[in-house]
Amino acid sequence: MSSIILHHFEASPFSEKVRALLGYKALAWQSVLIPRIMPKPDLVALTGGYRKTPVMQIGRDIYCDTRLIARTIETLEPTPPAIPSADTASVVALEQFGDRQLFLAAVPAMFRPAGRAFLVEKLGEDGLAKFQADRADLFANGNVARPDAAFSEAVLPPSLAALDAQLAARDFLLGEQPTLADFAVYHPVWYIRGNAGIADLLDAYPNLLAWADRIRAIGHGQRKDLDAAQAHSIAVETTEWQPLPESVAHKLAPGTTVTVAATDYGTEAVTGQLVAIGRDVMTIEREGPQNTPVRVHFPRARFCVEAAGD
Ligand X SMILES: N[C@@H](CCC(=O)N[C@@H](CS)C(=O)NCC(=O)O)C(=O)O
d(CA 131, CA 116): 12
Q: Considering the rule CB under 6 A, would residue 53 count as an interface residue with ligand X?
A: yes
- Using CB under 6 A, which of the segments 10-18, 124-132, 169-177, 214-222 binds ligand X? 10-18
Determine if 65 is a binding residue for ligand X (CB under 6 A).
yes
**Residue 51 within binding range of ligand X, rule CB under 6 A:** yes
Beta carbon nearer to ligand X, 13 or 108: 13
Residue 98 in contact with residue 187, Cβ under 8 Å?
yes
Looking at residues 201 to 240 of the shown chain, list those that interact with ligand X (rule: CB under 6 A).
none
CA dist., res. 32 & res. 184, Å (int)? 21
Region 76-115 residues binding ligand X, contact defined as CB under 6 A: 99
Peptide bond into 54 cis (omega under 30): yes
25 binds ligand X (CB under 6 A): no
Give the residue with the Cβ less far from ligand X, 53 or 242. Answer: 53
The amino acid that residue 241 corresponds to is W
Who contacts 193 (Cβ-Cβ below 8 Å, separation ≥6)? 199, 202, 212
Min separation Cβ 72 and ligand X, Å: 12
Nearest-angstrom CA–CA distance, 48 and 269: 8
Question: Chain centroid to CA 203: how far?
Answer: 26
Name the minimum Å distance from CB 254 to ligand X: 26
For position 12 contacting ligand X by CB under 6 A, the verdict is: yes
Q: Tell me: does residue 13 bind ligand X (CB under 6 A).
A: yes
Does the protein bind ligand X through residue 48 (CB under 6 A)?
no
Q: Going residue by residue from 142 to 171, which x/- string records binding to ligand X, judged by CB under 6 A?
A: ------------------------------
CB closer to ligand X out of 57 and 66: 66
Total residues in contact with ligand X, by rule CB under 6 A: 13
Task: Report angle CA 203, 207, 208 to the nearest 5 degrees.
Answer: 65
* Using rule CB under 6 A, residue 14 touches ligand X: yes
Helix (H, G, I), strand (E, B) or coil at 258: strand
Of the candidates 16, 104, 20, 3, the one whose C-alpha atom is nearest the C-alpha of residue 63 is 3
* Axis crossing angle, helix 88-96 with helix 180-193, rounded to the nearest 10: 20
> Measured between alpha carbons, how far is 88 from 90 in angstroms, rounded to an integer?
6
Q: Is 66 in the site for ligand X (CB under 6 A)?
A: yes
Residue placing its CB nearer to ligand X in the complex, 35 or 293: 35
Please identify, using beta-carbon distances, which residue of 52 and 164 lies nearer to ligand X: 52
Output 13 or 147, the one with its CB closest to ligand X. 13
The residue (of 36 and 193) whose beta carbon lies closer to ligand X is: 36
Minimal distance, residue 240 CB to ligand X, in Å: 25
| Burial class of residue 262 in the structure, from the number of CB atoms within 10 Å of its CB (0-12 exposed, 13-18 middle, 19+ buried) | buried
Short-list 187, 164, 161, 156, CA closest to 67: 187
Minimum CB distance to ligand X, residue 125 (Å): 20
3-class DSSP assignment, residue 299: strand
- Footprint of ligand X on this chain (CB under 6 A)? 12-14, 36, 51-53, 65-67, 99, 138, 266
